[in-house]
Chains A and B, each alone.
Chain A
Amino acid sequence: MAKKKKTSESKPQKRSATLRLDPAFYPKAALQKASEAFAHLAEIEIRRQGKQQVIKFGGMSAAAAKKLPDEFANYALSCAVVEA
Chain B
Amino acid sequence: MNPSIQATKNLARIQVDEKIFPRDVVVSAAYMFLDRCYVRLEKAPKRHVLVQIKGKKKLSNNQLANLAEEFENELLHQLIRRQVAERTDGLREVIVGRALFSAEPAEGGAAGEEPQEDMDYLDDPLGIAVPWEEKYKDGEKEEDK
Q: Which residues of A contact B (CB under 8 A)?
A: 21-22, 24-25, 70-71, 73-74, 77-78, 80-81, 84
Q: A81: which of B28, B42, B54 is its contact (CB, 8 Å)? A: B28
Q: A74: which of B27, B28, B39, B43 is its contact (CB, 8 Å)? A: B39
Q: A25: which of B27, B34, B54 is its contact (CB, 8 Å)? A: B27
Q: B7 contacts which chain A residues (CB < 8 A)?
A: none
Q: B31 contacts which chain A residues (CB < 8 A)?
A: 77-78, 81
**Does the CB pair A73–B27 fall under 8 Å?**
no
**Does the CB pair A77–B43 fall under 8 Å?**
no
Q: A81 contacts which chain B residues (CB < 8 A)?
A: 27-28, 31
Q: A22 contacts which chain B residues (CB < 8 A)?
A: 41-43
**Does the CB pair A70–B27 fall under 8 Å?**
no
The total of chain B residues at the interface (CB under 8 A) is 14
Q: Which residue of A lies closest to B35 (CB)?
A: A74
**Does the CB pair A25–B42 fall under 8 Å?**
yes
Q: B27 contacts which chain A residues (CB < 8 A)?
A: 25, 77, 80-81, 84
Q: A78 contacts which chain B residues (CB < 8 A)?
A: 31, 34
B30 interfacial by beta-carbon distance below 8 Å: yes
Closest CB in chain B relative to A71 CB, distance in Å: 8
Interface residues as binary, B9-45 with A (CB distance below 8 Å gives 1, 0 otherwise): 0000000000000011001101100100011111100
**Does the CB pair A77–B39 fall under 8 Å?**
yes
Q: A71 contacts which chain B residues (CB < 8 A)?
A: 38
Q: Which residue of A lies closest to B27 (CB)?
A: A81
5 closest A-B pairs by CB: A70-B38, A22-B42, A25-B41, A81-B31, A74-B34
